[in-house]
Amino acid sequence: MRILIAGRDGQLGRAVIAEAERRGLEYLAPPEKVFDISNLEAVREVVSSSKASHLINCAAYNLVDKAEEDWQSAAMVNGIGVRNLAITCVEQGVELLHCSTDYVFSGEKGAPYTILDEPNPINRYGESKLLGERLLQSLGERFYLVRLSWVFGNGSQNFLFKLKGWASKNQRLEIVDDQVSSPSFVDDLAPALLDLMETGAYGLYHLCNSGYCSRYQWAQHALRLMGWEGELIPVKSDRFPTPAKRPAFSAMDTFPFEDTVGYKLPTWQEATERFLQKEAQ
Ligand SMILES: NC(=O)c1ccc[n+]([C@@H]2O[C@H](COP(=O)([O-])OP(=O)(O)OC[C@H]3O[C@@H](n4cnc5c(N)ncnc54)[C@H](OP(=O)(O)O)[C@@H]3O)[C@@H](O)[C@H]2O)c1
């Protein structure tokens, strides 16, 4: 296995690199200025010179609110970028693992989404990620399409980073309790993605830490672990209007990940604790 990684500077990209190193795998992770997935010719050139057998796409446009206006930039990376990877991987016989999101769902089902459920995004970011899924499914051959949710790790594009910032400045916090999903720690996702890539069981997966919670419950757990002693108040999403609507309940059922790889990921509570301990070191 010789792995090429796109999006090396993101939360997941860094964790995949760390895991590849831990396993002693051969890998390449060129910077975005060289490996810009929205540029088909650049993708062809990088994949060809890499001699990779596998490609993991951790690159994404993840600015959910900004994507409402700047939807073409989101679609260029999350849709056309995935098209470029799919075309190139077929041309060059490379296996492709691509990450999508729970935000392809509307959040109205009221129970965890399975891989059998039809996507129906309610914001532009979700639409752009769905475009990438559809292009991959129509153009790709040997691929793993893995939907993730509420990804957190070392980086700023996640809820715990924002929560720590708010908690350091306030003794009273209002957090929404009407958005529910499964927090997912990159230190658990990265080994799981590499294990999945070893199975040869191509197709669609949902992958996240076990269990689900509201943003409020996640904050409650994390703030207690941080020793924060302020007042935490549950509020509804309309308290903080945002350009992009968020799904109310986008937790995912991870069938058939466990049947395929042989284990499920630890709970979101335990993953949150491990993350905070690591951050404190
Ligand atoms: N974060 C979440 O809560 C969440 C939830 C569900 C699913 N996901 C999915 O999980 C995957 C990993 O997310 P993440 O949280 O690790 O994302 P992240 O931290 O935002 O990292 C994405 C990386 O991709 C880079 N990138 C943007 N455009 C690119 C391009 N054209 N070519 C190459 N690289 C480019 C970004 O660079 P810049 O920062 O310079 O733009 C960034 O370093 C993504 O597919 C994401 O959609 C994330």
Do strands 231-235 and 184-185 pair parallel, antiparallel, or not at all (unpaired)?
unpaired
Q: pLDDT value at position 188?
A: 98
Domain range summary for the chain, segments of one domain joined by +? 2-156+183-210+251-266
Does the C-beta of 183 come closer than 6 Å to ligand 1? no
In this predicted structure, what is the pLDDT of residue 81?
A: 98
Q: How far away, in angstroms, is 20 Cα from ligand 1 center?
A: 18
Cβ–ligand 1 contact at 269 (below 6 Å): no
What's the 10 CA to ligand 1 centre distance in angstroms? 5
- Between the CA of residue 255 and those of 37, 99, 152, 204, what are the distances in Å? 29, 16, 22, 10
pLDDT (0 to 100) of residue 264: 96
Is the confidence at residue 236, as pLDDT, over 80? Answer: yes
Give the predicted TM-score (pTM) of the model.
0.97
- Catalytic residue status for 125: yes
Select which of 27, 125, 144, 216 is catalytic. Answer: 125
pLDDT above 90 (res 155): no
What's residue 279's pLDDT? 87
SS (H, E, C) 86-118: HHHHHHHCCEEEEEEEHHHCCCCCCCCECCCCC
Q: Which two tokens stand for residue 236?
A: 């509804």
The tens digit of pLDDT for each residue in 60-94 reads 999 999 999 999 999 999 999 999 999 999 999 99
Does 2-156+183-210+251-266 carry CATH code 3.40.50.720? yes
- pLDDT class of 281 with cuts at 50, 70, 90: confident
157 pLDDT exceeds 90? Answer: no
State the Cα–Cα distance between residues 247 and 220, nearest whole angstrom: 21
